Amino acid sequence: VLADGTYATETVYTSTAATARLEQVRAAAKPPLRALILGGDYFTATVLASTLTKLVLRFQELHSDAQAFNQLRAEAILIMTSIIRVGQSKFVSVPIDEDSQERIMNCIESLAQLQDSKPVHEMFL
């Protein structure tokens, strides 16, 4: 009803084909690893966390550049915490299980506390 008392009509056009196409583009734009994690494949996420930890520890063994090591370690920890946060968010089809979360947290703790790195090196390498 308009201000002058007359009736008005409004037409709304929806295109399910365009919406479906947009969803396909969104799904195709995800990198494969991200698609697996968002799909609930947390075994792959734990393998990624373990691999990142091994790469950082191997870098520490082979290079003496402390700044590059700290930067690499911080980036690896950021990736792992992001995986846990995504697993707890509403964007995933299946929430992260406790075992996978614990394994990723162990990798984070191992990288965060490298003062006594001998046991950590033995455990991961």
Per-residue pLDDT of 29-47, as tens digits, reads: 778 898 888 889 999 999 9
Expressed as residue numbers, the domain containing 84 is: 31-124
Distance of alpha carbon 101 from alpha carbon 96, whole angstroms = 7
pTM assigned to the model: 0.73
CA 12 to mean position of chain CA atoms: 38
Q: Is residue 100 part of a domain?
A: yes
Domain tally for the chain?
1
> pLDDT band for position 76 (50/70/90)?
very high
Query: Which amino acid, residue 79?
Result: I
pLDDT tens track for 9-32: 776 666 677 677 667 756 667 788
Any idea what the Cα angle at residue 113 is, between residues 109 and 116, rounded to 5°? 130
Q: Is residue 96 part of a domain?
A: yes
Go through the chain and tell me how many residues it has: 125
Choose from 1-5, 83-87, 90-94 the range with maximum mean pLDDT: 83-87
* Local structure of residue 97 (DSSP, 8 states): P
CA 64 to mean position of chain CA atoms: 29
Instruction: Give the three-class secondary structure for 67.
Output: helix
Joined together, the tokens standing for residue 22 give 């947009």
* Local structure of residue 91 (DSSP, 8 states): T
Supply the pLDDT for residue 116: 66
Higher pLDDT, 10 or 96: 96
Distance of alpha carbon 79 from alpha carbon 39, whole angstroms = 17
Query: Which amino acid, residue 22?
Result: L
